[in-house]
């Protein structure tokens, strides 16, 4: 029996600054990157050439959903109840803008003719600051944008933010690749998220009950900002959080054995070990993951 072919929507991460012609580079929305002088110039690949470069397991197929110039430097995405893809893009990374001067974007992508490619692009917000966490909700989105977690609301349904509320923060930004990321709604109805490397934060909801986090942690919070709770401790720089159909939570970290099945309130062995407390077990050995 033929193996079912699974189609995976992807976002191309091509950098147009490497285009073959000066005209294409200068005309692109994201041209003028201040780091381009330090990047070795190579011939650019088209999105189709990039697609053909993927090596996939048997039975899988990969197709292009969106690419430049409609989006640029995507770093996080999530789907809403309508099947639309919300994509955060950061031109600022790794150096954040001054407060109130962010130029990063959150764009809503839609496939209106159902051909497997995005054909409608709506900029929900273009004043964000390295937004590496996004979760669409009924009337907008919950987004991490330096230095806070915000609830952005679209009150008139035009696909653009017209109101914002700070839920939690400010968070420190000692390291901008280790911040609040991967906002996921759990089966408990709370929003779960990762907290990253070297940052030290103490935050509280409107109930006034604080939590403190150092480097790699996970935490959960209510969508109205009323309460926040730490859920795991002791990792380095978690980026990635997902629940399966049985309610098990999986997460990735940035070291040689990165895959975890998280246990609530567990302490892991990679950071800030406390003598005598004991640690949660590893999910797999390094040899298994290799």
Task: Check: CB of residue 268 under 8 Å from CB of residue 235.
Answer: yes
Tokens 């496939």 belong to 111
Question: In this structure, are 131 and 9 located in the same domain?
Answer: no
List pLDDT tens digits, range 174-185. Answer: 888 889 999 999
Q: What is the 3-state secondary structure (H, E, C) of 203-257?
A: EECCCCCEEEEECEEEEEECCCCCCEEEEEEEECCCCCEEECCCCCEEEECCCCC
Question: In this structure, are 63 and 80 located in the same domain?
Answer: no
pLDDT at 288: 55
CA 165 vs CA 149, 150, 223, 283: distances in Å: 9, 6, 11, 38
Rounded Cα distance, 131 and 93, in Å = 9
Question: In this structure, are 206 and 254 located in the same domain?
Answer: yes
Mark which of 29, 48, 67 sits at the end of a domain.
Answer: 67
pLDDT at 281: 77
Question: In this structure, are 122 and 159 located in the same domain?
Answer: yes
CATH code at 211? 2.120.10.30
Return the SS3 of 83. coil
Strand spans (E) along 138-178: 140-145, 148-153, 163-168
pLDDT at 61: 95
Q: What is the pTM of this model?
A: 0.81
Q: Which domain holds residue 160?
A: 68-289
pLDDT at 100: 84
List pLDDT tens digits, range 69-110. Answer: 999 999 999 999 999 999 999 999 999 998 889 999 999 999
Rounded Cα distance, 236 and 198, in Å = 8
Task: Check: CB of residue 245 under 8 Å from CB of residue 239.
Answer: no
Question: In this structure, are 77 and 170 located in the same domain?
Answer: yes
Q: Read off φ and ψ for residue 196, nearest 5 degrees.
A: -110, -175
The torsion region of residue 159 among left (phi > 0), alpha (psi -120 to 50) and beta comes to: left
Question: In this structure, are 277 and 153 located in the same domain?
Answer: yes
Parts of the chain with a pLDDT under 50: 1-30, 290
How many structural domains compose the chain? 2
Question: In this structure, are 120 and 196 located in the same domain?
Answer: yes
Question: In this structure, are 8 and 29 located in the same domain?
Answer: yes
Rounded Cα distance, 98 and 10, in Å = 32
pLDDT at 200: 92
Mark which of 67, 101, 123 sits at the end of a domain.
Answer: 67
Question: In this structure, are 111 and 251 located in the same domain?
Answer: yes
The angle at the Cα of 28, spanning 27 to 31, to the nearest 5 degrees, equals 100
Question: In this structure, are 140 and 8 located in the same domain?
Answer: no
Question: In this structure, are 145 and 29 located in the same domain?
Answer: no
Mark which of 18, 48, 67 sits at the end of a domain.
Answer: 67
Task: Check: CB of residue 174 under 8 Å from CB of residue 167.
Answer: no
Question: In this structure, are 3 and 95 located in the same domain?
Answer: no
Rounded Cα distance, 77 and 84, in Å = 10
Question: For residue 201, with 0-12 CB atoms within 10 Å meaning exposed, 13-18 middle and 19 or more buried, which class applies?
Answer: buried
């Amino acid at each position: 029996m033929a193996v079912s072919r699974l189609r995976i929507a992807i976002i191309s991460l091509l950098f147009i600054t490497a285009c073959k012609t000066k005209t294409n580079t200068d005309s692109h929305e994201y041209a003028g990157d201040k780091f381009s002088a330090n990047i070795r110039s190579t011939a650019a690949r088209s999105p189709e050439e990039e697609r053909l470069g993927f090596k996939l397991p048997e039975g899988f197929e990969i197709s292009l959903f969106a690419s430049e110039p409609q989006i640029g430097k995507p770093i996080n995405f999530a789907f809403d109840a309508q099947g639309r893809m919300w994509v955060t893009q950061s031109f600022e990374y790794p150096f954040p803008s001054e407060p109130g001067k962010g130029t990063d974007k959150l764009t809503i992508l839609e496939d209106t003719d159902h051909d497997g490619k995005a054909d409608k692009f709506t900029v929900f917000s273009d004043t964000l600051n390295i937004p590496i966490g996004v979760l669409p909700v009924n009337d907008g989105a919950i987004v991490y944008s330096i230095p806070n977690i915000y609830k952005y609301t679209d009150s008139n349904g035009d696909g653009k933010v017209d109101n914002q509320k700070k839920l939690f923060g400010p968070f420190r930004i000692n390291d901008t690749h280790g911040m609040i990321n991967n906002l996921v709604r759990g089966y408990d109805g709370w929003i779960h998220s990762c907290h990253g490397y070297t940052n030290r934060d103490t935050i509280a909801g409107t109930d006034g009950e604080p939590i403190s986090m150092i480097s790699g942690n996970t935490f959960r919070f209510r969508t109205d900002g009323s309460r926040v709770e730490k859920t795991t401790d002791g990792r380095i720089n978690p980026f990635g959080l997902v629940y399966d159909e049985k309610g098990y939570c999986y997460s990735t970290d940035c070291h040689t054995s990165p895959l975890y099945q998280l246990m609530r309130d567990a302490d892991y062995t990679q950071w800030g070990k406390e003598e005598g407390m004991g640690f949660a077990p590893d999910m797999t050995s390094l040899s298994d993951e290799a």
